[in-house]
Structure 1
Amino acid sequence: MLVAAAMAASCTGKKQAESTASDEKVLTKTVPAALRVIEQNEVYTSEIEPYKENDITPAVSGVHIDRILVDVGSRVKAGQLLVTLDPTQYNQQRLQYQTALDDYNRLVPVYEAGGISAQQLEQTKAALDVQKEVLDNLKKNIEMRSPIAGVVTARNYEAGNLFTGTPVLHVMQINPLKIIANIQEQYYPAVKLGMPVEIRTDIFPGEVFAGKVSLIYPALDASTRTFTVEVTVPNGNEKLRPGMFARSTFNMGDKEGIMVPDVAVLKQVGSSERYLYVVEDGKAERRSVKVGRQIGSDVDILSGVADGEQIAVTALSRLADGVEVEVKE
């Protein structure tokens, strides 16, 4: 009898403990989701590029380089002579042209004296013009000039080398510079020509460089749903250099958004789903949400939560859909 009574008492105690445990509510703290005006500053990381760049290359291969008049780091002007090629063929043609010119000049007074016909003089002049055109073309081919103002960034030959296909020089225009950004399609209406853009780099922390949108590509990339924008960056002091990484900040205007603390948003293991818990009538409700930009310690909720709803921010690991909660003041 004593054993039976003890067993009964033990069972009763366990049931009471289990009942107490099941009735226990999760203690959590909540904050209201808040509708706020958000400044849409979008940041894109990309590489700084020269505004223009050109390879300095002969029109024909298999020619010897006569002189290279600049070196890496040299400043050049548009139209400046940079390289001359072997002038042997040009010199031969120049002698032929000079001979033809002398012959023509001798025939002019003969024609004026009636010694030859006008047709003969015209034929001689036509042949001279052909010789001059050939000479001019040869001169263009042996003289390599820079099409842009800039700085020489590569030199691949020395005087006397045979040109084998690699550009002799490479010239970059580094004032201004440009940055290419690929922007989400939702911002296409917000981006305008002349729109100011702030440029920041890790190498110059705390310093902001001013740029402007100079080109907007008219078509979107169907695979990424982005469009390309070119930003021109003045570089008068030449602090910035091609190849540096930069962060470009575009102000896309203001919008209203539902903000909640970032600690309230959880990620479902094994998927990209984001969710949080809304507390209503003493119970937690699990809500899937679409998340936008983070601003400070808050995050913009694009869908799934309404203004003023109470969002759980503590004891999240103990919450589940439908669990009873007690809100800590």
Structure 2
Amino acid sequence: MKKKTWIMLGVISLIIMMISVSVYRQVLAKGPTVQTTEISQEEISSLLMIPGTVKLSEEQMVYATPDKGEIKKLLVKEGQTVNKGAVLAKLENPQLELEIEQNKLAVESANLKISQIEMKLDQLEDKEKALSDQVGKKEAEKQLSPEFEQLEMEKKFANIDLKQTELQKDLINKRQDELEIKSTIAGIVLAAKKPAASTIDAANEPIIHIGKLEGMTASGLLSEYDTLKVSKGQRVIIRSDAAPGKEWQGEITKTAILPEQNQASLQNSTQAVQYPVTVKISGDTKTLKPGFQVIMEIETEKKTAMVLPLDTLFDDGGKPYVYLVKDGKAHKQNVKTGITSGKKIEILGGVSKGDKVIENGPDKIKDGLEVTVK
């Protein structure tokens, strides 16, 4: 009886094993489950990404100028709004003040000298009239002619001296006007401080820095190849790690004709040539600050093309390819690609409209593998 029981248990176990193997083979035969997509026609853009720095659209920096004078008084403070032409600071120059006084005396002296000569000429004319009554007009003119000539010559030299002193006065007045430092732009005072000491570092730091926060720009450098793709008016998207999740729209306003010149490139002829590019930032730029490092995405090409999602593309170091689903199996298909735009890539050949392309396929997928489409 026990023997029959063991035989029955063995038969049942064998049947269960056979059923399990059959089910496993059926599941395996179905292959992995995949999701497919189709090629579509869309408008795409080619993006060029370059690093850049945020800059003020307009700014004025005032540095210490000991040759013109020392800072007497700052008339503005940090954060203050100023108009164009506003007086920012006043200088004092004792040497210039001395020159002003000397010039005043020189002008006064020249005028006195001319007045004295004119007085002598008047006296000489009276003498000529009196002498004419005695010896006649012609004889009087003849006798007094040398004195007249001498006085006229002295008057000419005195007038020349006066003109020279007046020219000096004009130059001194210009230097005196420079004792008032005025704003050349309308903006906000970003920094205002007297120089700490007459050192090289202090001379390199601005005493007053004024900037116009509206219409800030971003500038970067383009390679020789990239500068051929960029032109005035192209759209730019600007992002900064300092402001995550935010972006600003911009527009190319200038691409330099000449490359950037620096000491390294002058010393090393193999140094890569780079061309400055300027982007005007639009919209609310309150979050941005001058000096922020940004990434600029420049839209260099815009067109309508046949595209696929980037995650449909495979590349094992050779030609790029995709997997098509035909008759329940994955078929490897080489493709020719164009520009990449965001998460899309242009397909120039290899895939036709209506083809089922595996999207985000598993890593173990192979050519000829049976797959199940969702």
User: Structure 1 length as normaliser, TM-score?
Assistant: 0.68
Matched, 1:55 2:92: no
> Is 2:337–2:349's contact at 8 Å kept on the other side of the alignment?
yes
Deviation at 1:214, TM superposition (A): 2.7
Distance in 2 between residues matched to 1:190 and 1:243, nearest whole Å: 23
- Determine the structure 1 residue equivalent to 2:203: 165
When the two chains are superposed, the root-mean-square deviation of aligned CA atoms in Å is 4.7
Segments of 5+ residues of structure 2 without an aligned counterpart are 1-17, 122-150, 261-269
Pairing partner for 1:121 from 137, 158, 162: 158
> Is 1:25–1:324's contact at 8 Å kept on the other side of the alignment?
no
Could you report, residue by residue, the CA deviation over 1:258-312 in whole angstroms, capped at 9, with x for unpaired residues? 32234433565xx7996543445745316477574455xx522455643334322
Give SS of 2:57's match. strand
What is the identity percentage for the equivalent residue pairs of Structure 1 and Structure 2? 15
Distance in 1 between residues matched to 2:368 and 2:85, nearest whole Å: 78
Distance in 1 between residues matched to 2:294 and 2:285, nearest whole Å: 17
Segments of 5+ residues of structure 1 without an aligned counterpart are 1-12
- Determine the structure 1 residue equivalent to 2:278: 230
Matched, 1:328 2:373: yes
Cα distance change on mapping 1:107 and 1:49 into 2, 3 Å = same
Which residue identity lines up with residue 85 of structure 1 in the other structure? L
Which residue identity lines up with residue 187 of structure 2 in the other structure? G
Which structure would you say has the larger Rg? 2
Could you report, residue by residue, the CA deviation over 1:212-270 in whole angstroms, capped at 9, with x for unpaired residues? 543233368998898654233468996764345667676666423332234433565xx
> Is 1:187–1:252's contact at 8 Å kept on the other side of the alignment?
no
> Is 2:188–2:213's contact at 8 Å kept on the other side of the alignment?
yes
Give SS of 1:71's match. coil
- Determine the structure 2 residue equivalent to 1:136: 173
Q: How does 1:19-38 map to 2 (within 5 A)?
A: 24=29, 26-29=31-34, 31-38=36-43
- Determine the structure 1 residue equivalent to 2:256: 217
Distance in 1 between residues matched to 2:272 and 2:352, nearest whole Å: 32
- Determine the structure 2 residue equivalent to 1:306: 351
Q: Whose strand fraction is larger, Structure 1's or Structure 2's?
A: 1
Could you report, residue by residue, the CA deviation over 1:8-41 in whole angstroms, capped at 9, with x for unpaired residues? xxxxx9xx99xx79x9574453535413122428
Matched, 1:148 2:185: yes
Could you report, residue by residue, the CA deviation over 1:120-142 in whole angstroms, capped at 9, with x for unpaired residues? 12331243035314413532553
Cα distance change on mapping 1:63 and 1:207 into 2, 3 Å = same
Deviation at 1:91, TM superposition (A): 1.1
- Determine the structure 1 residue equivalent to 2:332: 285
- Greater CA drift, 174-183 or 242-251: 242-251
Give SS of 2:345's match. strand
Distance in 1 between residues matched to 2:226 and 2:351, nearest whole Å: 22
Give SS of 1:136's match. helix
Matched, 1:105 2:150: no
Cα distance change on mapping 1:261 and 1:231 into 2, 3 Å = closer
Deviation at 1:104, TM superposition (A): 2.3
Give SS of 2:189's match. strand
Distance in 1 between residues matched to 2:313 and 2:232, nearest whole Å: 34
- Greater CA drift, 121-130 or 217-226: 217-226
Which residue identity lines up with residue 43 of structure 2 in the other structure? I
Pairing partner for 1:178 from 206, 217, 221: 217
> Is 2:74–2:192's contact at 8 Å kept on the other side of the alignment?
no
- Determine the structure 2 residue equivalent to 1:259: 307
Give SS of 2:215's match. strand
- Greater CA drift, 93-102 or 219-228: 219-228
Distance in 1 between residues matched to 2:255 and 2:334, nearest whole Å: 39
Matched, 1:68 2:116: no
Could you report, residue by residue, the CA deviation over 1:41-63 in whole angstroms, capped at 9, with x for unpaired residues? 85867543211222202444695
Could you report, residue by residue, the CA deviation over 1:309-329 in whole angstroms, capped at 9, with x for unpaired residues? 432236522213x33334536
User: Structure 2 length as normaliser, TM-score?
Assistant: 0.61
Q: Whose helix fraction is larger, Structure 1's or Structure 2's?
A: 2
Cα distance change on mapping 1:140 and 1:162 into 2, 3 Å = farther
Distance in 1 between residues matched to 2:217 and 2:158, nearest whole Å: 57
> Is 1:64–1:85's contact at 8 Å kept on the other side of the alignment?
yes
Distance in 2 between residues matched to 1:162 and 1:187, nearest whole Å: 44
